[in-house]
Amino acid sequence: MASVEDEFRPKNIGHGGILMLRPTDALSMILRCRDLQILVLGIDAFILTEHTTQPVMEHSVDLSDYAQGDSWTLAEKFLRKRMDKGFVFEIVVPAQYQ
């Protein structure tokens, strides 16, 4: 069975092996995780240039404290507030779903 990350890998715009998505694709991944009941453990924001990948820690969030609750709604709200900031996003899911 393909992982949720494999499902979104064709939309990857990052460098190296990290799956980085445009905001609309990242939102789609969060919604897909909700459908599959795969928790979202965090969201990492990056500024991506031709030669660099710069993390933006103040626009990243750790949702692992919500691992037994509704991490999807929190993830969706967090992402929607940052959709127009020019970031790309890594959606962090449990290892078995990567």
pTM of the model: 0.91
Q: What is the structure's pLDDT at 98?
A: 66
Q: What does the pLDDT read at residue 19?
A: 95
Q: Supply the pLDDT for residue 69.
A: 75
Residue 88, strand partner residues: 46
Q: What is the pLDDT of residues 30-76, one digit of tens each?
A: 999 999 999 999 999 999 988 889 999 999 999 988 766 789 999 99
Q: What are phi and psi of 29, to 5 degrees?
A: -65, -40
Fold designation for 4-97? Ribulose 1,5 Bisphosphate Carboxylase/Oxygenase (3.30.190)
Say how far apart CA 64 and CA 96 lie, in whole Å: 15
